[in-house]
Amino acid sequence: MRQVTPNFEAPPGFHPVKVVGMHGLTGIKAELIEPISMKSSEDWREIVNELQSWGEVPLPESVTRLTSENSERGMVVTIEAEEDWIGEFLPWGSDGLLKVRSKNAPNGSDVPLGGYSWNDRDVIILRRSISEGENSEDALVNALQENDLESCQGILGGMGRCLGTFHSSMRTLRELPPDQRRWNSRNEKIEGLLRAQFIWRAPYTKEQPCTVTLLDVRVSDFSGDTVRIGPPRLSDALIPHDSEKPAMRDLASLVHDLSRIHHKVSTKLHLKELRIALIGGWRETAPEEWASDKAFYSHRGGMAIWEYEQCLMDVLEASSNQSGAPKPAIDTLQYVKMYQKKMFNNRTFAALSFMAFFFGVSTLINQFPPSPTEIIPPLGFFVAGYLCLKTYRGMSPSPEMPFREI
């Protein structure tokens, strides 16, 4: 990525930044806004002066001191006022649903209480500063290092149930048909930018409807029974979302982050055992239809294609930052062809099932009305077709199984 002259405006106190892709990433761009200075309470008052506030925010004149630090998702400031606050800057904005998530999240969720926007673009979100305890990532890393499977299963199961509860609350808010065309189109665009050696399109199922999702879910976003709603990741700026996503995508994001942690931490525990606990916890509290076997059916996308998308986004971000090959995303992508080949080979049974049903119907029509002896061949074809179809569906890769173990 290289910086070019911006052709858009920024609010007072901010400067605009525009970056565009080079070489293989030609065609992508990101428009960012960053605070010019954030060192004193005067800087804060100048920045928020012409922004539109929503929810609860500290009175600008009550801010006495602030400290700032940079993160991979934007600047974070600690604000001292009548109460202490944490402000998170959103350099590339959001998908416009932060307020919706915050207002409709289950009780106890760690959500922004307010924030500032400019021309309908989210600029800052604010939450109360609280003493931070051990988050789920710290607890999980410790349990992994100690090879404590029972503790890991408890932590992951709790995270899954917490995420499922969030999705259940979102179902009452929004549930729209799957947006297959746009979901596949976004993957196609990322594959083209990365010059991927393979493609993956899915028909999806009606059990994966569009809803209000978190978009990016990390293990560090959980603490006990609490899930944190925070800023979006960089890939959301590079390849903006043009449609809402299913709850399954959030689960895939969390499962993929589990893979990142498992890759970094030295442990004897198998990833499959950990995935079973996480996915099982989510299925306990998520909407029953969204967590059904049909929703996880890999031959129609299931969770697998969303894991694939997570890997693509890791590679996209690493390419834009020139930070090297992201692990384990690169390793996982190496198994995609084998995964697809297995599913393609499984179609042999689907074809046999179709042929058996076709011959059964043809035989029945040609001999209609059939005699007692003539009914036996079409019945045999129907039974064979049913068994082949059942075998085909049973061969669908399990969502708990990592790609490399398929």
Question: pLDDT tens digits for 222-279?
Answer: 998 899 999 999 999 999 998 999 999 999 999 999 999 999 999 999 999 999 999 9
Mean pLDDT value across residues 385-392 = 87
Mean of all residue pLDDT scores within the chain: 92
Question: pLDDT tens digits for 204-227?
Answer: 999 999 999 999 999 999 998 899
Question: pLDDT tens digits for 64-119?
Answer: 999 999 998 999 999 999 899 999 999 999 998 999 999 999 998 999 999 999 99
More confident residue, 133 or 372: 372
134: pLDDT strictly greater than 90:
no
Three-state helix/strand/coil letters over the chain: CEEECCCCCCCCCEEEEEEECCHHHCCCEEEEEEECCCCCHHHHHHHHCCCEEEECCCCHHHCCEEEEEEECCEEEEEEECCCEEEEEECCCCCCCCHHHHHHHCCCCCECCCEEEEECCEEEEEEEECCCCCCCHHHHHHHHHHCCCHHHHHHHHHHHHHHHHHHHHHHHCCCCECCCHHHHHHHHHHHHHHHCCCCCCCCCCCCCCCEECCCCCCCHHHEECCEEECCCCCCHHHHCCCCCCECHHHHHHHHHHHHHHHHHHCCCCCCHHHHHHHHHHHHHHHCCCCCCCCCCCCHHHCCCHHHHHHHHHHHHHHHHHHCCCCCCCHHHHHCCHHHHHHHHHHHHHHHHHHHHHHHHHHHHHHHCCCCCCCCCHHHHHHHHHHHHHHHHHHHCCCCCCCCHHHC
Phi-psi region of 142 (alpha: psi -120 to 50; beta: other; left: phi over 0): alpha
**Short-list 365, 320, 361, 345, CA closest to 406:** 345
More confident residue, 381 or 50: 50
360: pLDDT strictly greater than 80:
yes
Mean pLDDT value across residues 54-65 = 94
Q: What pLDDT was estimated at residue 367?
A: 76
Question: pLDDT tens digits for 151-201?
Answer: 999 999 999 999 999 999 999 999 999 999 999 999 999 999 888 888 999
Q: What pLDDT was estimated at residue 41?
A: 93
Question: pLDDT tens digits for 281-336?
Answer: 999 999 999 999 999 999 999 999 999 999 999 999 998 888 888 999 999 999 99
- Helix 271-285 and helix 247-264: axis angle, to 10°? 150
Mean pLDDT value across residues 34-52 = 93
Predicted TM-score (pTM) of the model is 0.91
Mean pLDDT value across residues 112-135 = 88
Alpha-carbon span 89 to 149, nearest angstrom:
38
Q: What pLDDT was estimated at residue 9?
A: 92
Q: Tokens standing for 319?
A: 């390419």
Alpha-carbon span 368 to 394, nearest angstrom:
34
Phi-psi region of 116 (alpha: psi -120 to 50; beta: other; left: phi over 0): beta
371: pLDDT strictly greater than 90:
no
Q: What pLDDT was estimated at residue 59?
A: 94
Residue reference for tokens 């011959």:
359
Q: What pLDDT was estimated at residue 365?
A: 80
* Burial (0-12, 13-18, 19+ Cβ within 10 Å), 49: exposed
Q: What pLDDT was estimated at residue 300?
A: 92
Alpha-carbon span 163 to 227, nearest angstrom:
7
